[in-house]
């Protein structure tokens, strides 16, 4: 039986179309000849995830992304269709996480298995999450360092500007003068040190004698340690005796005596009593002084003219002879 040309062409076209469909599915990562399950995940944004992206569990590829489309014409959420060819069981609380396995920005999906005992069935929607890419994480780590480097460069620039401003010609001259003064101060210190060394060397014998005397005194103190202890003991006994004595009572008696004497002095100053009248009455003082002078004159006259007061004559003396005559000062 001869096959017509038209049948051959039709069969060839069917085969071409079949291979075309298989090729398209292969490019999309679909294998229509293998048993598979389909799961869904909803994202607000997918960070560049594309169809046929691998889906892995713990690093093992178990499927791929079969479709990516919007939830609806009025919604911005994106639905990812995941096709699994591996028979691994997926708990219902597993999470489909979009991550970047390299620095090139490639996006894959990693299924983080949950701990539920209930397993997801084909057609279920899984939880979704999005992790930062390696480049984004590196950028996040490098950004603070970049800011610090920029701040450091700004600080260095400011410091250089300040140094240029400060270290002008006048400042350099001042620093030069300061260093010169420091050099002179060091020279003076060296000169003083030399003089001090000379003085110490010149007075070395005297210092040796002083140290010898100090050593002698220390030896004497050590030798008289017992006597010193006795002296301290005696001093302690004296202090105990003084502490036991009625010093407070004695001081109180002295205070009372002083107060009595003060009262007597006050009375004398006020003219009370004989002594007060004697010291404060001017008229009495004048009379006493006058009487004292007359007594002195009487005694002097008695010494010079005793016959006026003692008369042993048979004949009475004349009145002129017995008259008082003031003594003549020699």
For the stretch 179-196, pLDDT in tens is: 888 988 898 898 888 888
- Which of 7-16, 80-89, 176-185 has the lowest average pLDDT? 7-16
Backbone angles phi, psi at 56, to 5 degrees: -130, 160
Cα distance between residue 183 and residue 268, in whole Å = 81
The candidate with the shortest Cα–Cα distance to 60, out of 98, 113, 110, 115, is 110
From the list 33, 47, 41, the residue with the least C-alpha distance to 66 is 41
pLDDT attached to residue 43: 92
Q: How many residues are there in the chain? A: 330
The answer to whether the beta carbons of residues 184 and 191 sit under 8 Å apart is no
Looking at residue 171, its pLDDT comes to 74
Q: What is the DSSP letter of 119?
A: B
Q: How far apart are CA 303 and CA 298, in angstroms?
A: 9
Q: Which residue has the tokens 């260095």?
A: 156
pLDDT average, residue stretch 170-182: 81
Q: What is the DSSP string of 203-261?
A: THHHHHHHHHHHHHHHHHHHHTHHHHHHHHHHHHHHHHHHHHS-HHHHHHHHHHHHHHH
Grade residue 283 by pLDDT with cuts at 50, 70 and 90: confident
Q: Which residues contact 116 (CB under 8 A, 6 or more apart)?
A: 91, 92, 93
Question: Both tokens of residue 185?
Answer: 């101060």
DSSP 89: -
Q: Which residue has the higher pLDDT, 121 or 319?
A: 121
Neighbours of 81 (CB within 10 A): 15
pLDDT at 78 over 70: yes
DSSP 12: H
More confident residue, 63 or 271: 63
Instruction: Say whether 282 sits in a helix, a strand or coil.
Output: helix
Cα 267 from Cα 105, distance rounded (Å) = 120
For residue 119, what pLDDT band results from cuts at 50, 70 and 90? very high
Top-confidence residue, 182 or 101:
182
* pLDDT band, residue 276 (cuts 50/70/90): low
pLDDT digits (tens, 9 = 90+) for 143-153: 778 788 888 88
CA–CA distance, 42 with 129 (Å, rounded to integer) = 9
| DSSP, res 167 | S
d(CA 288, CA 309): 24
CA–CA separation, 107 and 196 (whole Å): 84
Domain boundary assignment for the chain:
1-33, 36-131, 281-313
- pLDDT band of residue 256 (cuts 50, 70, 90) is confident
* Residue whose C-alpha is closest to residue 111's, from 134, 94, 132: 94
CA dihedral 117, 119, 125, 129 (to 10 degrees): 50
Which helix (H) or strand (E) segment holds residue 149: the answer is: helix 134-166
| Coil vs helix vs strand at 133 | coil
């Amino acid at each position: 039986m001869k096959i017509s040309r038209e049948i051959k062409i039709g069969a060839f076209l069917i085969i071409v179309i079949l291979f075309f469909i298989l090729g398209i599915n292969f490019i999309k990562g679909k294998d229509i000849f293998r048993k598979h399950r389909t799961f869904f995940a909803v994202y607000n944004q997918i960070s560049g995830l594309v169809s046929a992206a691998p889906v892995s569990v713990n690093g093992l590829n178990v499927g791929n992304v079969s479709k990516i489309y919007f939830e609806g014409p009025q919604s911005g959420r994106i639905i990812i269709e995941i096709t699994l060819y591996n028979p691994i069981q997926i708990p219902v609380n597993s999470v489909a996480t979009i991550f970047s396995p390299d620095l090139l920005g490639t996006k894959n999906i990693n299924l983080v298995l949950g701990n539920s005992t209930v397993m997801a069935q084909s057609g279920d929607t899984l939880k979704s999450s999005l992790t930062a890419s390696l480049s984004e994480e590196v950028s996040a780590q490098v950004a603070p360092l970049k800011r610090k480097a920029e701040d450091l460069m700004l600080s260095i620039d400011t410091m250089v500007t300040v140094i240029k401003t400060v270290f002008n010609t006048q400042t350099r001259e001042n620093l030069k003068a300061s260093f010169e003064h420091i050099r002179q101060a060091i020279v003076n210190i060296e000169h003083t040190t030399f003089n001090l060394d000379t003085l110490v060397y010149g007075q070395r014998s005297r210092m040796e004698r002083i140290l010898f005397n100090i050593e002698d005194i220390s030896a004497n103190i050590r030798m008289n340690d017992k006597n010193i202890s006795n002296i301290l003991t005696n001093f302690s006994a004296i202090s105990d005796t003084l502490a036991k004595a009625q010093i407070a009572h004695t001081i109180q008696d002295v205070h009372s005596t002083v107060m009595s004497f003060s009262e007597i002095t006050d009375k004398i100053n006020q003219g009370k009593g004989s002594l007060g009248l004697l010291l404060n009455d001017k008229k009495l003082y004048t009379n006493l002084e006058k009487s004292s002078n007359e007594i002195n004159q009487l005694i002097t006259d008695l010494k010079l003219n005793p016959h006026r007061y003692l008369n042993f004559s048979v004949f009475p003396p004349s009145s002129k002879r017995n008259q008082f005559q003031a003594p003549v000062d020699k």
